[in-house]
Structure 1
Amino acid sequence: MIRFLFPVKKVENRIDDLAPVLFWSQYLFFWLESILIQICRQIMFILNKMLSN
């Protein structure tokens, strides 16, 4: 399907252009994910304290 829509060569060039963007987005995603995990842990901790009282 994709090969039909885009010639293979163009797709390969596109991927080469996107390589640094993909690298940085992956890095940012990892960073955001770690922050979200920390926030979720804090929320769970607070909820546990509220429920236990």
Structure 2
Amino acid sequence: MNFAKGDRKFNFFSTIATLKIPYDITLQELLECLFPANHVTEENMRKLPRF
């Protein structure tokens, strides 16, 4: 996944996991995590303001 903010570029890869309880389908959860795909993205993330 690629993003840009101003002159900064961000490249991520994602992982998706599901947590399931076999007896109740309504309790299924989906988790997605984004990780920096390179050192440039990691450094650009450190430069962003924190909330």
TM-score (normalised: structure 2): 0.26
Structure of greater Rg: 1
Which protein has greater RCO, CA pairs closer than 8 Å, 6+ apart? 2
